[in-house]
Chain A
Amino acid sequence: MGKLILYGIDGSPPVRSVLLTLNALGLEFEYKIVNLMTGEHLKPEYLKINPLHTVPTLGDDGFYINDSHAINAYLVSKYGKDDTLYPKDLQKRAIVDQRLHYDSSVLATTGRALTAPLREGKTEIPKARFDALEEVYKTLDLFLASNDFLAGNYLTIADFHVIAVLSSTILLRDVDATKYPKLAGWIQRIRRLPYYEEANGSRMSQVANFIKSKKYTIV
């Protein structure tokens, strides 16, 4: 096996979703920090491997891919001892894919929109952004109505993407366990994964400190 390199930074939820997958698969890899704050993603060396200058990017023996969902699907398909994290069964896979695209089109943007004002140095967050987050919590609770994990009864990469975003959003608005009991239960379940702390939990401190340091009003 060639060398796996993950380019990214801990503050990025999509990067943490890949760290969760790499840890779940027990894979060795190099982690190269790309400091977005100092514009490292815009440097020629990085643009060569990812012209979209986003994180994460994965290098697998000279083959480069970006987008965390594509990366996670590729890693499981190529290196997984079995397919449980990204099932080959067409119907099961379709459900995982729908959750992954829900992340891309709704969840990730809702999370980013919520923290954007703070990252831009503003002190007001529109109430509508919190309402959008509540809608997301409601939808995720619905996905969990009859199963322990987001795409069914087994852990899949869909769970990794969502926990990575939620670990940031709950710093601003917790999941109300009386309103969304399934979602609250799922968060606890994911936190008990043996690699959770290493891949996600321990990497939240900078984000958490940043958010705690900000004074804001909801308008």
Chain B
Amino acid sequence: MGKLTLYGIDGSPPVRSVLLTLRALNLDFDYKIVNLMEKEHLKPEFLKINPLHTVPALDDNGFYLSDSHAINSYLVSKYGRNDSLYPKDLKKRAIVDQRLHYDSSVVTSTGRAITFPLFWENKSEIPQARIDALEGVYKSLNLFLENGNYLAGDNLTIADFHVIASFTGFLVFLPVDATKYPDLAAWIKRIKELPYYEEANGSRAAQIIEFIKSKNFTIV
């Protein structure tokens, strides 16, 4: 097997979703930090690997790939000992794919609407409407979890990695009300019990959580 290199930074939830997948698959890899604050993603060397200058980016022995969902699907398909993290069964896969695209189109944009002004535009007031949108996401996720212990059914899949990586930040803005969203609250606990969770996500999110708290945001 050639060398796997992951380009990214701990603060990015999509990067952490790939770290969760790499750990779950027990893969060896190089982790190269791309400092977004210092605009390292815009440098020619990184643009060669990913002209979209986003993180994460994967280099698998000269094959470059961007987008965390594409990366995670690829890693499981290529290196997984079995297909449980991204099932080959067409119906099971369709459910995982729908969760992955729900992450791309709703979860990340809902999160970004809250964090972008705070991180990049120095605005410390968050409109209540954006928090309400986040609660809408909690409601949908709880709905998904009514059908099984994990987001796509009875088994852990990469869908769970994407969503939990975003959640570590979300919880600072809006805790999960376990009386309203009991399945979601239980799922968070369940994922945190994974043996590699702390290393891949928990410990790496700490800095970004501190950063968020340091902004002294208010919800208006």
Binding site for B on A (CB under 8 A): 51-52, 63, 65-67, 69-71, 73-74, 77-78, 90-91, 93-95, 97-98, 100-102, 104-105, 108-109, 139, 142
A63 surroundings in chain B (CB, below 8 A) = 91
Given contacts A65-B95, A73-B94, A104-B105, contact A139 B73 (CB under 8 A): no
Q: Dominant SS at the A interface?
A: helix
Give the contacts of B80-137 with A (CB-CB under 8 A): 90-91, 93-95, 97-98, 100-102, 104-105, 108-109
A77 surroundings in chain B (CB, below 8 A) = 90, 93
Contact indicator A66/B98 (Cβ below 8 Å): yes
Nearest chain A CB to B181's CB is how many angstroms away? Answer: 14
Q: Dominant SS at the B interface?
A: helix
Interface-located stretch among B16-24, B27-35, B61-69, B169-177: B61-69
* B140 CB within 8 Å of chain A: yes
Q: Give the complex CA separation of A51 and B65 in angstroms.
A: 33
Nearest chain A CB to B47's CB is how many angstroms away? Answer: 11
Count residues of chain B with CB under 8 A from any CB of chain A.
29
Residue of B whose beta carbon sits closest to that of A105 = B104
A102 surroundings in chain B (CB, below 8 A) = 52, 67
Task: List 4 tightest A-B contacts by C-beta distance, closest first.
Answer: A104-B104, A70-B97, A97-B70, A98-B70
Given contacts A78-B90, A101-B69, A109-B109, contact A94 B74 (CB under 8 A): yes
Q: Give the complex CA separation of A47 and B103 in angstroms.
A: 20
B97 surroundings in chain A (CB, below 8 A) = 67, 69-70, 73-74
B66 surroundings in chain A (CB, below 8 A) = 98
Nearest chain A CB to B12's CB is how many angstroms away? Answer: 13
* B189 CB within 8 Å of chain A: no
* B51 CB within 8 Å of chain A: yes
Given contacts A77-B90, A97-B69, A97-B70, contact A91 B101 (CB under 8 A): no
Residue of B whose beta carbon sits closest to that of A108 = B105
Q: Give the complex CA separation of A76 and B66 in angstroms.
A: 23
Nearest chain A CB to B105's CB is how many angstroms away? Answer: 4
